[in-house]
């Protein structure tokens, strides 16, 4: 099968969160299953062309509405030596320091930038005569791909039989913009109604994708149920319920070629479940790097996260001062985003010298070190479509402390104090108290039942979330989408 994944993020080139990891891992795994999977993403100016071996392979004329034409450059490289990746070069849209935001917040022309990326993806396929059976869109940035396939390329196009799949990674970001972008998108006003692109007088890109894709997925089975409910659907539940027959929840995999402590080149020491000496060494390096007292007897809690409401920072900000007062532990934090949360962690670090270490920014190497050097991984998300950080934590023998929601609930098995079974610590209520109590439960287990910590660690490290199984499920979804498309063409 020929599959084109269209995305705004792809690790290691451009990544803000798990979307970048997911697209890279899925494409790699599809190729291992024998499919011709390729990726297209913007050539952001911060992407290191030399380091990643990008070379120019052509230029394409992208036609938008109102007879607007953009000439874009196309660059190519191989990701991890196996996946062809195409980069769309268009300086005035992508020659910026951020992906979605700059110093002044969200780029106001994001709808234009990603509409053009989506349209470019179709043009590239046609010009290069590489006709995929599936175009796989990811979140709002590429959610117009299904729309274009059913409008601009509905008939008399080499892509008229190409089916589309939309994966919803984060329903909290829908890409809602003023309707003035409609002429640029270039579909007629007939599509500006609630069953298509319109959302309370605006354009909702994710909604458009939901209404036009041949199949829809989200990134865990539990989250697929959650988004069908009014609260979890964040306004999309009615439209997702209309598409219920074409909706699947497929758990993300982890790319263990990048995230395994036995081989991870970013760690100061490697380790396995059978020999955890390297983990202790990573803990010492982590403590030194972030200015913590070098104490092997104290548990280290780690956080690696975008600072977004989704991730439960309201709970953390309330629970942490009391927890630091009443419990024995250290805390390391890596993240950025919300300014208030950044300032909070600056303050927490200043007021808890030697006990709290914070790095406010994006740092891939440090993210690996925290996964390895911590004892517990904190992820009290209010909602979590899948979550990759906790999946990595499991493999690194760092026990996740999570709220039982979405993919967190699907991937972490709660500790059973009677038997010592489980892989982490879970709570249900989205309250600071529940988080505080669960941190206390973990800390008391650390001091009172160390044999259980050792057992939980072994169980966590033995979990296997490799991509193969999930990629096979995507192939099934692709086949479903092709059937849906065929039925539409006949109808």
State the residues that interact with ligand GLC by CB under 6 A: 17-19, 22, 169-170, 219, 252, 384-388, 407
Q: With respect to ligand ADP, which residue has the nearer C-beta, 213 or 334?
A: 334
Tell me the per-residue interface mask from 282 to 321 with ligand ADP, x by CB under 6 A, - otherwise.
----------------------xxx---------------
Q: With beta carbons less than 8 A apart as the criterion, state whether 461 and 400 touch.
A: no
Contact of residue 305 among ligand ADP, ligand GLC, none (CB under 5-8 Å per partner type): ligand ADP
Site for ligand ADP in 367-396 (CB under 6 A): 367, 386-389
Pick the closest to residue 287 from 300, 278, 277 (CA basis).
300
Residues constituting the chain: 491
- CA atoms of 114 and 91, how far apart (whole Å): 13
Phi, psi of 464 (to 5 degrees): -130, 110
Q: In 3-state terms, what secondary structure has residue 327?
A: coil
Count of other CB atoms within 10 angstroms of residue 465: 21
Q: What angle do CA 88, 14, 464 make, to 5 degrees?
A: 125
Q: Is residue 364 involved in binding ligand ADP (CB under 6 A)?
A: yes
Instruction: Please identify, among the stretches 13-21, 83-91, 342-350, 449-457, the one whose residues bind ligand ADP according to the rule CB under 6 A.
Output: 13-21
Cα(471)–Cα(237) distance, integer angstroms = 26
- Cβ of residue 168: shortest distance to ligand GLC, in angstroms? 9
Work out what residue 334 binds among ligand GLC, ligand ADP, none; the CB cut-off runs from 5 to 8 Å by kind: ligand ADP
Structure tokens at 57: 């392979």
SS (H, E, C) 155-197: CCCCCCCCEEEEEECCCCCCCEECHHHHHHHCCCHHHCCCCCC
Question: What does DSSP say about strands 330-337 and 356-360: parallel, antiparallel, or unpaired?
Answer: parallel
Pairing of strands 198-199, 202-204: antiparallel
DSSP structural state of residue 356: E
CB of 361 to ligand ADP, least distance (A): 6
DSSP 66: G
Quick check: bond before 479 cis, omega within 30?
A: no
The Cα–Cα gap between 285 and 281 comes to 6
Q: Which does 380 bind (CB under 5 to 8 A by kind): ligand ADP, ligand GLC, none?
A: none
Binding partner of residue 219 among ligand ADP, ligand GLC, none, CB cut-off 5 to 8 Å per kind = ligand GLC
Of residues 21 and 198, the one with the C-beta less far from ligand GLC: 21
Binding footprint of ligand ADP, residue count (CB under 6 A): 18
| Closest to 223 in 3D by CA, of 441, 415, 384, 451 | 384
Residue nearest to ligand GLC (CB): 18
Which of residues 43 and 402 has its CB atom nearest to ligand GLC in the complex?
Answer: 402
In contact, 445 and 415? CB cutoff 8 Å: yes
From the list ligand ADP, ligand GLC, none, partner contacted by residue 367 (C-beta under 5 to 8 A by kind): ligand ADP
| Partner touching 363 among ligand ADP, ligand GLC, none, CB below 5 to 8 Å by kind | ligand ADP
Minimum distance from residue 109 beta carbon to ligand GLC (Å): 22
Which lies closer to ligand GLC via its Cβ, residue 116 or residue 386? Answer: 386
| Nearer to ligand GLC (CB atom), residue 226 or residue 264 | 226
Tokens 């059937």 appear where? 483
Q: How far is the CB of 90 from ligand GLC (least distance, A)?
A: 25
408 binds, among ligand ADP, ligand GLC, none (CB under 5 to 8 A by kind): none
Q: Which residue, 22 or 203, has its beta carbon nearer to ligand GLC?
A: 22
What is the token pair recorded at 40? 């297209």
Binding mask 323-362 for ligand ADP (x = CB under 6 A): -----------xxx-------------------------x
Residues that bind ligand ADP (CB under 6 A): 17-19, 21, 304-306, 334-336, 362-364, 367, 386-389
């Amino acid at each position: 099968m020929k599959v084109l994944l269209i995305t705004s993020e792809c690790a290691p080139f451009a990544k803000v969160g798990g979307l970048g990891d997911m697209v890279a891992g899925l494409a790699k795994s599809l190729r291992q299953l024998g499919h011709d999977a390729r990726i297209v993403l913007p050539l952001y100016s911060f992407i290191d062309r030399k380091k990643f071996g990008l070379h120019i392979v052509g230029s394409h004329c992208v036609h938008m509405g109102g007879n607007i034409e953009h000439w874009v450059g196309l660059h190519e490289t191989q990701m991890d030596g196996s996946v062809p990746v195409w980069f769309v070069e268009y300086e005035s849209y992508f020659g910026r320091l951020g992906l979605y935001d700059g110093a002044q917040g969200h780029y106001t022309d994001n709808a234009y930038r990603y509409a053009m990326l989506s349209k470019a993806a179709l043009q590239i396929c046609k010009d290069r005569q590489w006709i995929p059976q599936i175009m796989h869109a990811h979140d709002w940035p590429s959610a117009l791909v299904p729309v274009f396939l059913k409008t601009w390329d509905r008939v008399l196009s080499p892509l008229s039989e190409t089916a589309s799949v939309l994966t919803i990674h984060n329903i909290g970001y829908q890409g809602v913009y003023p309707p003035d972008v409609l002429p640029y998108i270039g579909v007629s006003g007939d599509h500006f109604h609630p069953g298509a692109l319109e959302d309370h007088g605006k354009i909702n890109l994710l909604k458009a994708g939901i209404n036009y894709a041949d199949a829809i997925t989200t990134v865990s089975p539990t989250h697929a149920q959650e988004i069908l409910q009014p609260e979890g659907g964040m306004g999309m539940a009615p439209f997702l319920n209309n598409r219920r027959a074409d909706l699947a929840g497929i758990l993300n995999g982890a790319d263990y070629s990048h995230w395994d402590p036995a081989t991870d080149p970013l760690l100061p020491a490697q380790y396995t479940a059978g020999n955890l000496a390297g983990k202790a060494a990573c803990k010492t390096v982590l403590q030194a790097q972030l200015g913590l007292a070098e104490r092997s007897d104290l548990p280290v809690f780690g956080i690696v996260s975008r600072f977004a409401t989704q991730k439960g920072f309201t709970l953390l900000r309330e629970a942490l001062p009391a927890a630091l007062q009443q419990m024995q532990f250290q805390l390391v934090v890596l993240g950025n985003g919300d300014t208030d949360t950044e300032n909070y962690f600056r303050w927490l670090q200043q007021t808890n010298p030697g006990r709290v270490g914070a790095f406010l920014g994006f740092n891939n190497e440090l993210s690996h070190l925290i996964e390895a050097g911590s004892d517990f991984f904190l992820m009290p998300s209010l909602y979590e479509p899948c979550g990759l950080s906790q999946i990595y934590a499991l493999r690194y023998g760092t026990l996740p402390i999570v709220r039982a929601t979405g993919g967190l609930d699907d991937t972490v098995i709660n500790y059973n104090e009677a038997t010592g079974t489980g892989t982490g610590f879970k709570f249900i209520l989205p309250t600071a108290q529940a988080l505080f109590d669960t941190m206390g439960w973990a800390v008391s287990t650390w001091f009172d039942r160390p044999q259980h910590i050792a057992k939980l660690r072994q169980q966590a490290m033995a979990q296997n979330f490799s991509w193969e199984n999930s990629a096979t499920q995507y192939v099934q979804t692709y086949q479903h989408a092709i059937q849906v498309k065929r039925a539409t063409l006949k109808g």
